[in-house]
Each structure stands twice: as structure tokens, then as C-alpha cells.
Amino acid sequence: MTGNRGVVYQGPGRVEVQDISYPEFELKDGPGVNPANVGRKVPHGAILKVVVTNICGSDQHMVRGRTTAPEGLVLGHEITGEVVETGPDVEFVKVGDLVSVPFNISCGRCTNCKARRTEICLNVNPDRPGSAYGYVDMGGWVGGQAKYALVPYADWNLLRFPDRDRAMEKIMDLTMLSDIFPTGFHGCVSAGVGVGSTVYVAGAGPVGLAAAASARLLGAAVVIVGDLNEERLAQARRFGCETVNISQGDPGDLIAEILGTPVVDHAVDAVGFEAHGSGEKAGQEAPASVLNDAMKVTKAGGAIGIPGLYVTGDPRAVDEAAKVGSLSIRFGLGWSKSHAFYTGQCPVMKYHRQLMMAILNDRVRIAEAVNAVAIPLEEAPEGYRSFDQGAASKYVLDPNGYLGTG
């Protein structure tokens, strides 16, 4: 039996790389595993030797203690790997295939999957529609910040790269297909971004930068990224975005200095529930601030894409309402402007093949846009600390030395 190592949540502010179980074609009991999933057979699954796996802002919410994630949870939902074993029901995926894993786990059989709503699959999580690897309340599927990982419904879920050598040349870009590139793209598509659009992206973390790059790929005329972190704003400017530091005033006023008007055609919330205020309230946590600002700066009849994470349980929220996901949103403002809002996880499979082709054919350099930095798996705790301190980087873990970081 081959050994395995993984990144394990140890309580607020702490992760460790530990020995963990090698994957089997059966879901075992453990931290975060729904009792109804214990013993679930996975003959349709594949075991991957992980080539690259990424630290995500969603992981960071858990590590900060801002969710109800249990200690001992193996983290990681952004997985790219090499197939080393397949279950008896797998027909098309083969050992040796190099593949991208959508962070959404889906069965391909339920009504939602058949409608391309793979983010709310009905069959993989007894708690609620939708599932993900290594994430709180998502059914208990083991995370992929590890040397080896199990992927269920492999024929359905896995995106095979057509040429291994070509893929490895662009693996730092292709690793973004598991989550943040489709997520940022989805935020823009759901907001209606197209040729000639003016776009405001709230948040210059990796998802925000991916959204900004996606807006440019979709033909936006002007992409404005707002954040409090100057290093991250500088990263957005490197690939052609305008930026506003929202600590310096109201986002609408700052946008007007660029466009001559305080409104944009489309807005994307890439921040989520750990939002902070702008202007005089900069630095103060205000969970609804980004949504309210987005409504203020989006034109009447416009749309707001919301790929930023919002949760139903935040034990460290600033008030009792926010602890259960209730926010003081100016819904009347959005209603009066006839805004459309699009929320929820990105259905990765809706976009990942097209985005793979854009990467392989040099239409986009997403790793450069998000400043991807490769580190060994054993340095994951340092990566989490640096990311939490606001580093303008997307940390890519190299569990098996494919990138030569060890």
C-alpha cells in the first residue's frame, strides 16, 4: 500500500501536513463525513496521484475558524492529477490519463446534473444539494491537498487533457480549471459581461483576478478591480485592469474618476461574507458591504454575479444575524434598479473544457494573472499563513514533485 500525506485542519489558524489514509473505493467514517455516506461504495471512482492542488480562499475561510468545519478535516478541492487506479465500473478514463477535477462533485444522473447544474447535484451529499472535496457540510468527500485522492463518478467528472506533454508545459495554468478560473468566468457570464462592457470586480484575491481576466477574455472594454490591498491591486494592473483602492472613498466616486460616471454595466462580487467596508469604514468587517456597493455602482437593468462565498454558519461573525447568514442587504435598492442577482457555486463542468482550450491555444495566461506560485506540499502551512496575510499570490502545492519544488 502506498503512503499518503495531506493537509489537515487542526482548529482556527492551524493546519498541518500529516499521514492520512490512502484512498479506497469506499467512503470511510471521519471528520465531516455525513453518517449516511459512511460505507458508500465508489466502484465508479478513480484514484489520482495528485500532480498539483491549490490553496483556495474558501479553504482559508475554514482555517480562520469562520465556518463549522470539524478539526481533522483533510482540506483541498482544487485537484489536478494522474489516474493510477480505476474502479470496476469505470469505462472511459484510463490509468495514466492526466486530468482536471471539478471542485463540484456530481453524479451525472440526477435532474440537476442533466440540466448542467452540477453545482447542486442531488445524489452526492445527504445534507443538501451540491458537494465538494474537503469542505464543511459537503458530504465528507476527502480533500485533495494530498499525495493521492479519490474522485467518484470518474467517467463523468474528470476532464482529460488531450496531450500529456503539452498539458505539463501549461500545468500552472491548467490547475486553475478545477475552480477559480471557471468560478471567475461564471461570475462574469452570469453578470452578462460581453464585448464593450464596463465591469467592476470587487476583490483582488485569486478569484477576483480570475474574474478580471475572464472579463477581458469575454471582450470587456474596461475592467475595474476594487480592493483594500495595494499589492493585489498592483497584480490586477499588470494584465491591463484599472483599479480602485476602496479605502480611499466610495467605490462609485472612485469609478467615476475612471469612467466619468459612477456606474458600470456589470459587477462581480469575488469577496463573499468576510467583506470589509469602504471609505471611512475601510478595515471594518461588514458582511453585506460588497453586495450593497455592487448595487450602488451597477446600472439600472444590470446584473451582479456573486461567485464570492456566503455561508449559513459563521461562528465568528460580527453579529448574531450574520452567524446564520442573514445580512443587511439593501434589497430595495436592487429591486428599484431592476437588478438581476446570480449566486451559488460555479458549475465547473459548464465551462472547463472551453477554458482548457483557451489555455492550450494561448488565448489566456491565467497563472500569470493570479500570480501562481508553486510550493511543496510540506510547506502548505506557510502558504496558508502567507495567503491569510494578503499575499498577492495563488499558492499551488506540488505533492509528488511533478513541478520539482521538493
- Domains of the chain and CATH, by start: 5-179+347-398 (3.90.180.10), 180-343 (3.40.50.720)
* pLDDT tens sequence across 316-367: 898 899 999 999 999 999 999 999 999 999 999 999 999 999 999 999 999 9
Task: Give the model confidence (pLDDT) of 268-325 as tens digits.
Answer: 999 999 999 988 888 899 999 999 999 999 999 999 999 999 998 899 898 899 999 9
pLDDT for the residue numbered 59: 95
Whether the per-residue pLDDT at 10 is higher than 60: the answer is yes
Per-residue pLDDT tens digits for 83-126: 999 999 999 999 999 999 999 999 999 999 999 999 999 999 99
Residue 262 burial (C-beta neighbours within 10 Å; 0-12, 13-18, 19+): middle
Sorted by sequence, the CB contacts under 8 Å of residue 211 that are 6+ apart come out as: 183, 184, 185, 187, 188, 201, 268, 270, 305, 307
Rg (CA), the chain: 20
Q: What is the pTM of this model?
A: 0.96
Contacts of 67 (CB under 8 A, 6+ apart): 61, 136, 311, 313, 314, 315
Residues contacting residue 240 through CB under 8 Å, at least 6 positions apart: 216, 223
How long a stretch of residues is the chain? 406
219-231 pLDDT tens trace: 999 999 999 999 9
Q: What is the mean pLDDT of residues 139-152?
A: 97
Rounded CA separation 209/201 (Å): 8
Rounded Cα gap, residues 325 and 117, in angstroms? 23
- Which pLDDT band, with edges at 50, 70 and 90, does 1 fall under? low
CB proximity list for 335: less than 8 A, separation 6 or greater: none
CA distance 153 to 337: 43
Cβ proximity of 72 and 9 under 8 Å? yes
Residues with Cβ within 8 Å of 354's Cβ and at least 6 positions away in sequence, in order, are: none
The residues facing 138 across adjacent strands are: none
pLDDT for the residue numbered 216: 98
Mean pLDDT of the region 254-262: 98
